Structure 1
């Protein structure tokens, strides 16, 4: 998988949230949290797996809302940050963090009610195999996001330290079909790329975000959005 060495470095794990979700990046976190909660709710008693859970920002949020959740990541350093976050939130007893490989999930078939991954598929070398594994261990729902071709994401994609895979809508639909998943819902957002928001203070980012949403609600905005959220069910 792209960027594994970079992703697992101690200093990256320690600074990951601060670098990506401070300043205007808070608007990104707010949108992603809403996307996950809207797709997976209601959560009380639901058995959930998060793949590539990183520092646990979604894992902890879902545990706080009653999910029986496992967070899996390849980086021991990221998981350590997640455990600290869970302890601070008082939910350490209600979730489990595991180190593991998304290509070989250590769970039986149909074990979870929902499986999701955020900020994962842009790093995946073999997205079809990863999506098939997600489908295998879910008895109902699979949710994930992608960065999109033909969007502003492509402008700075080359500058990312690990590179990024971009997807067209037709490619995602082929992946879903190949994994025996049926698309239930899709949302497209962020005409302006994430890097733009992270580079400016929140007070400056907010007016840009309002304009982004307004244009994004138009047919043209939907086609040029840099991020998509895909909600699918197991057939």
Structure 2
């Protein structure tokens, strides 16, 4: 099953968080949330759009911190999980979940202060057009992540039946140039791919994560990172 088809399957949504963010996956969840919070900065009254919001991991977190946020996803089942999460967190009245296509965002130009797209571009069939649309509705910031082509992720990706799109630095730079976005910061992380962390217990994952960060602290070895976070401005 291809990645987009798998993601939209109704039975995937109910188990999505447990499969990806339990065990060693908790490290991934924490790191991704840290990256989003660091990039967006102060959130009080900031207008934010999260594209491909899934089960609302980031949407709910940002609403709890004062953002005026809309979470959009193509999967109705994922959005229902997000609504339940928002209700449990007590923020269901302060955010909006809506179903939609990232290729045709139903918002005017420059409508949001920040647009966030996490775990999205590895499934994007036309990344150039998607990124241009994210840029269109943002008046300041577009923040997204990619899985990297020349990394251990390529081995993991080869073994995945659904596959995912991997990006080189040249490809990301080209996408940014064509979308008229300026890169202001990039962070590269996780030598060991996400799938590896999800298969091991917390304590074992912590040991590998320590090794991971030590490797990436060596000058030049960030090229081994399997994921990158891109903070851009319009």
TM-score, normalised via structure 2 length:
0.98
What is the rounded CA distance, in whole Å, between the counterparts of 1:160 and 1:139 in structure 2?
37
What is the rounded CA distance, in whole Å, between the counterparts of 1:169 and 1:136 in structure 2?
23
Q: What SS does structure 1 have at the residue aligned with 2:220? A: helix
Q: What SS does structure 1 have at the residue aligned with 2:93? A: helix
Compute the displacement of 1:41 (Å): 1.4
Does the aligned pair in 1 maintain the 2:132–2:179 contact within 8 Å? yes
Counterparts of 1:178-197 in structure 2 under 5 Å?
178-197=178-197
Counterparts of 1:202-213 in structure 2 under 5 Å?
202-213=202-213
Does the aligned pair in 1 maintain the 2:49–2:112 contact within 8 Å? yes
Compute the displacement of 1:108 (Å): 0.3
Name whichever of 150-159 and 76-85 sits farther off. Answer: 150-159
Q: What SS does structure 1 have at the residue aligned with 2:114? A: strand
Compute the displacement of 1:170 (Å): 1.1
Match of 1:39 in 2: 39
Compute the displacement of 1:118 (Å): 0.4
Match of 1:94 in 2: 94
Number of residues of Structure 1 aligned to a counterpart in Structure 2:
233
Match of 2:13 in 1: 13
Match of 1:149 in 2: 149
Compute the displacement of 1:4 (Å): 2.5
Compute the displacement of 1:159 (Å): 2.6
Compute the displacement of 1:162 (Å): 2.4
Per-residue CA distance 1:32-55 (angstroms, 9 max, x = gap): 000000000110000000000000
Does the aligned pair in 2 maintain the 1:191–1:221 contact within 8 Å? no
What is the rounded CA distance, in whole Å, between the counterparts of 2:4 and 2:119 in structure 1?
13
TM-score, normalised via structure 1 length:
0.97
What is the rounded CA distance, in whole Å, between the counterparts of 1:90 and 1:162 in structure 2?
36
Compute the displacement of 1:10 (Å): 1.8
What is the rounded CA distance, in whole Å, between the counterparts of 2:207 and 2:156 in structure 1?
22
Match of 1:221 in 2: 221
Compute the displacement of 1:163 (Å): 1.2
Q: CA RMSD in A?
A: 0.8
What is the rounded CA distance, in whole Å, between the counterparts of 2:218 and 2:123 in structure 1?
29
Does the aligned pair in 1 maintain the 2:3–2:164 contact within 8 Å? no
Name whichever of 8-17 and 155-164 sits farther off. Answer: 155-164
Compute the displacement of 1:176 (Å): 0.5
Compute the displacement of 1:8 (Å): 1.4
What is the rounded CA distance, in whole Å, between the counterparts of 2:139 and 2:83 in structure 1?
27
| 1:129 to 2:162 alignment | no
Unaligned runs of at least 5 residues, structure 2: none
What is the rounded CA distance, in whole Å, between the counterparts of 1:74 and 1:115 in structure 2?
16
Match of 2:75 in 1: 75
